[in-house]
A = this chain, B = another copy of it.
Amino acid sequence: MFEARLTQGKILKQIIEAIKDLVQEANIDCTDDEISIQAMDSSHVSLVSVSLRNGGFDHFRCDRPISLGFNAANMGKILKCAGNEDVVTLKADDEGEALALVFESPNMDRIADFELKLMDIENEQLGIPDTEYKCTVQMPSSEFQRIIRDLQVLGESCTISCTKEGVKFSASGDVGTGNVLVRQNATAEKEEEKVMIEMDEPVELTFALRYLNFFTKATSLGPTVILSMSPDVPVVVEYPIGETGFIKYYLAPKIDEEEE
Chain B residues with Cβ below 8 Å from A160 are: none
Interface string of A71-93 (1 = CB under 8 A from B): 10010011011000000000000
Q: How many monomers of this protein are in the complex?
A: 3
Instruction: Confirm or deny: A200 has a beta carbon within 8 angstroms of a beta carbon on chain B.
Output: no
- The distance in angstroms between the C-alpha atoms of A98 and B178, with both chains bound, is 12
Instruction: Confirm or deny: A1 has a beta carbon within 8 angstroms of a beta carbon on chain B.
Output: no
Count of chain A residues near B, Cβ 8 A: 35
Chain B residues with Cβ below 8 Å from A154 are: 77-78, 114
Asked if B150 and A81 sit within 8 Å, CB to CB, the answer is yes
Instruction: Confirm or deny: A113 has a beta carbon within 8 angstroms of a beta carbon on chain B.
Output: yes
Residue in B closest to A111 when the chains form the complex, CB atoms: B181
Q: For residues 91 through 146 of chain A, which have their beta carbon under 8 Å from a beta carbon of chain B?
A: 98, 108-117, 143
Asked if A183 and B115 sit within 8 Å, CB to CB, the answer is no
Query: Which 6 A-B residue pairings sit nearest by Cβ, starting from the closest?
Result: A81-B150, A77-B153, A112-B180, A114-B178, A116-B176, A74-B175
Partner-B contacts on A (CB < 8 A): 71, 74, 77-78, 80-81, 98, 108-117, 143, 150-151, 153-154, 174-183, 185, 188, 195
